[in-house]
Structure 1
Amino acid sequence: MTQLPGLLDIEAIRKDFPLLDRVVHDGKKIVYLDNAATSQKPRQVLDALNEYYEQHNANVHRGVHVLAEEATALYEGARDKVAAFINAPSRDEVIFTKNASESLNLVANMLGWADEPYRVDRETEIAITEMEHHSNIVPWQLLAQRTGAKLKWFGLTDDGRLDLSNIEEVITEKTKIVSFTLVSNIMGTVNPVEAIVRRAQDVGALVLIDASQAAPHMPLDVQALGADFVAFTGHKMCGPTGIGVLWGRQELLEDLPPFLGGGEMIETVSMHASTYAPAPHKFEAGTPPIAQAVGLGAAVDYLTAIGMDKIAAHEHAITEYAIKRLAEVPDLRIIGPTTAEDRGAAISFVLGDIHPHDVGQVLDEQGIAVRVGHHCARPVCLRYGIPATTRASFYLYSSPADVDALIDGLEHVRNFFG
């Protein structure tokens, strides 16, 4: 195996992930390179889910029997783990949702219903970027349509970076919210948080950061980011599907209205009016994703034990190697940064005039799992004049051998299509 500096003990880590031993298509061992879509789950997470359902399954918070108390302790314990993982000042700033999309929609709706000084209306502006996942575009389009607010965005440079040359025009005195991704899901670009946050703070705008592609791959410190809200999802960071996180500053969560109404988010209810529970329960109506939160807590334990700084170093080495090897493939064009500097572990590319769906299908026949399409980031494809891309994305269990398999697979694709 190719040796690279900074790699984790890949063989030991891969033993924790049962699916990576799966054999597909005529005995080929799967090469999983679709981690930006979802990660695989270690046995430690699977065991935590099984143990919860087998030993502790009950609804949370109101029961006084032993199972309810155990389930509540596990659920709220997961909140403690997430708070520590992101360096939140308070556990009460951590809200569980079903995914990052719901977290982003939650903020958009809160601001649409809020009183001054937070309300988004026809006199205000919303700022996003051209590289956002649809989950961080559509909610703001909907809010702008409902309120009359003006939606503005940063464009992209030819090399896949944000164009901040007109930052004072995009973020103005009218801007109420700036919402942007920390790491692009399609291009892997790591964005300049400090410059954007500084400008937003200068004009009094709130900042929401989509950290879905950051939380699994690098240390995430919400206090250091300087944002007002941070959203991410569990299934991309070794956790189960159906669990997301919204972190928000305590004073904002106290002032802003809830988005969903129902059980648990109330303080008192009469037929005339209701009052609301304090955060985080104010924003967690109904039975929450209990088992999923427990699984996310186990995933946080797993990642923390390895060390997020070590995971980041491992992925940087793998990404740098992958970019080098991809440069050897004739007619291949990377969409986004072509160096490992300030970029994550997702690499999108086009291969000559071969459609990405054809590339993905032939790679699949070789046991190589990649993503094809516009990756819920169609404006990026439009910006670079392409219908779609093939995306290979790496994680803590990815190896140089996986990269080599991809390169061999792409050679097979080129030969197949002549």
Structure 2
Amino acid sequence: MPIDQSLTTLIPTLHKKHLDTINFALKNAGFECYLVGGSVRDLVMKKIPKEYDLTTNAEPKDVKKLFRTVIDTGIEHGTVTVVLDKVNYEVTTYRIDKDYVDGRRPGHVEFGTTLHEDLKRRDFTMNALAYDLTSGVLIDDHNGLADIKSKTIRTIGNPIQRFTEDGLRPIRALRFASTLNFKIDEETKKAIHQTKHITKKISLERFQDEILKSFLGEKPSVMIALLVEENLFQVFLPSMQLDLIPNEIFLEELNKVSKDLVGLQLSFAFYSILPNVSLKELETYLRSLKFSGQNIKDTLLFSELIQKWNQYPDLNSLTTYDIKKYFLAPVKRHFQSRYELNEIFFQKLTPIFGNEIMKLLSIWNENPPLLLSDLSINGNHLSENFPDLPKLKFGEVLSFLLELVLQSPKENEFHKLITHSAEFINNLTK
């Protein structure tokens, strides 16, 4: 077993202090304790882990006696969360999973086993590493180090059996291929196709969550391409056509999208595989996959912008009016309450508009009137100046004025708009 004391040098000071506290408390009470799973994989890859999980032969009741704040996060499966300085650390008892019956979770678990038995139940070799924080010993029962070195995703044991146990594992394999830039072992990949009937049993929320996790990596396009290649979208969206062919150009744009604009990521993901999908159908897909209401609204807005932008055969034919009405106005209406619409924000829209983003930004910086709320008059002004005008007509008048100032911003002055309103109302009554 290799000894590598250098792994802990990558752990930030606060986390290292917390891990040492948990490790010491468990071992001082006569128990074993190891850092395990993805955090060890990340450390081996010289990455700073986002979270740290530990495993021990102490049962949850024992762990709860040793720490002040412990949350029962999955106590039936031996998992509790130790909270230190408001930071969470999952601590799981060594266990054997038995009697998988629904393709999602074990029918029951057995505690009182060994670390080596516990590592056998894990999904992939790269995630079955355990690290002793005291001695620096790295436990690698399943050649995970070799697979990390060769950038290979491989199940522990028979891949069909592992995927039959938990239908989420195939989706996790695709996500890891995307976020880690690994390839999937051939036998493991075959098993993904052969166990779709099990994958179908997982909840839509879990599938959706894996997509969102893939968006945090450098190449979310890989996740989308693999889902398409394996026809896995159709497992959850049976009305979607099979054997789609992704557009590589738009998949590459997906990789460039800012991580804080999930709606834009989803827009490019779906546009790359379904460029002609209607917004109504896209909304149905997104709702079926249980995306949040805000993500759905953002995705539909961005998708409409992408579709409209790509309908222009010649961008030179785009007028300033077109840019204001069809692109800047929707962006302002949709995002002004949540974002500061400045150059930083607009630069994040470059995947949609390409080099033309500077033209959009230039027009935006002129602060043109784009929405009804930007007009120098409102419904109250119409009521005061045109008392005989039915209120049902206010919207018609204001819409006319907005069209006017979109084409000629200098007309957006109170007295000019009152004059234009009078002329429009006069024509209405003829």
Shorter-chain TM-score above 0.5: no
Relative to its length, the structure with more helix (as a share) is 2
Q: What TM-score do the two structures reach when normalised by structure 2?
A: 0.21
Higher relative contact order (CA 8 A, sep 6+): 1
- Structure of greater Rg: 2
Q: What TM-score do the two structures reach when normalised by structure 1?
A: 0.21
